[in-house]
Structure formats: structure tokens, C-alpha cells
Structure 1
Amino acid sequence: MSRSRRDLVWIPTFAVLVAFAVPWPLWGVDRVVAGLPVWIWWHVAWLGLCTVLFSLFVRSGAWERGMGRQPGSKSESPLGGDRQ
């Protein structure tokens, strides 16, 4: 199966998200902002970024193409009926 260049962009994007999910640059930093350690704020911001990028990934149709489906096509639900 060949993939479009648009779909191939998501592979390094998600690799970077995984690589920086752990706050490597903040190891050993004891700074506190608004009552929480800086590394917790890193995770809050990172999860927000992941949410936005995953939303773009799904809206682009790459999720369906990766699962072997055509974007926008109807498929049967696991319970037997058509999805609405």
C-alpha cells in the first residue's frame, strides 16, 4: 500500500511527540510555578499539544487511510448495524 506524502509527515510528528513526552530538559530542576513543579506544567502543555495534533491527524483522514478505510465511507459497526 502506498501512502501519500501528507500521511508520511505524521510518522516523524508522532515520533517527536513520543521523544519529548518525558521532560528530559527539566530533570533536576526544582523550580515551582503557581504551586506546581515546572515538569508538571510541561506535561499539561504537552498533552494539550498532543490533543491538537491528534485532532488534526483524525480530521485529515490519515486515521481512516491507515486503517484501510476510505475517509467518509460508511462501515458496519461491531454490533451488526450500519453506523449513523
Structure 2
Amino acid sequence: MTRTWTDYLWGLALATLVALAVPWFLWRDATTVAGLPVWLWWHVGWMALASATFYGFTRGAWDRWIDAEAIRHG
């Protein structure tokens, strides 16, 4: 199986989503926006971004790293 640039981009998207899921840089920051802490807004936005990324992944790359034909034919 050969790797394409798309494979590497999906890998980078996954690594970015995992690496920035916890906003370490916002810990001990008491800043609030609209009555809620900024770190909570980060999580809301990050979950929206993760959902959009996963939706894109299911539209074109779901079986990218598996051999779907081998699985179907057992």
C-alpha cells in the first residue's frame, strides 16, 4: 500500500487534534468571556473542530489505512 499526501495530511490532522485537545497553556488563566472561563470555550470550539474533522474523514478517508476488500472477503 502506497502513502499519498492525503494520508499524511489526515495523520497530521489527527496528531493536531490530539496534541491540542487539552489547553495546557490556558491552565491557571482566570479570564472569562460571556461569563464562562476561556478554557471552557476552548473545549467547545475544539469539539466543534474535531466533529467537523471527523465528518470530513468519514466522507473520503474512512478506509484509508485498512484493506477494506480483504475484510469484506474474509
- TM-score category by the smaller chain? 0.7 to 0.9
The reply to whether residue 65 of structure 1 matches residue 59 of structure 2 is no
Q: TM-score, normalised by structure 1?
A: 0.72
In structure 2, what is the equivalent of residue 46 of structure 1? Answer: 46
Question: Structure 1: which 4+ aligned runs deviate by more than 6 Å?
Answer: none
Choose 1 or 2 for highest CA Rg: 1
Aligned residues: 71
Match of residue 27 from structure 2: 27
Amino acid at match of 1:66: W
- 3-state DSSP of counterpart to 1:2: coil
Unaligned runs of 5+ in 1: 76-84
The root-mean-square deviation of aligned C-alpha atoms, in Å, is 1.8
Q: Which runs of 5+ in 2 are unaligned?
A: none
Residue in 2 aligned with 1:2? 2
Aligned mates of 1:35, 1:67 — CA distance in 2: 45
State the Cα distance separating 1:35 from its structure 2 match. 2.0
Task: Give the Cα separation in 1 of the matches to 2:62 and 2:8.
Answer: 12
TM-score w.r.t. length of structure 2: 0.80
3-state SS of paired residue (1:49): helix
Q: What is the percent sequence identity of the aligned residues? A: 47
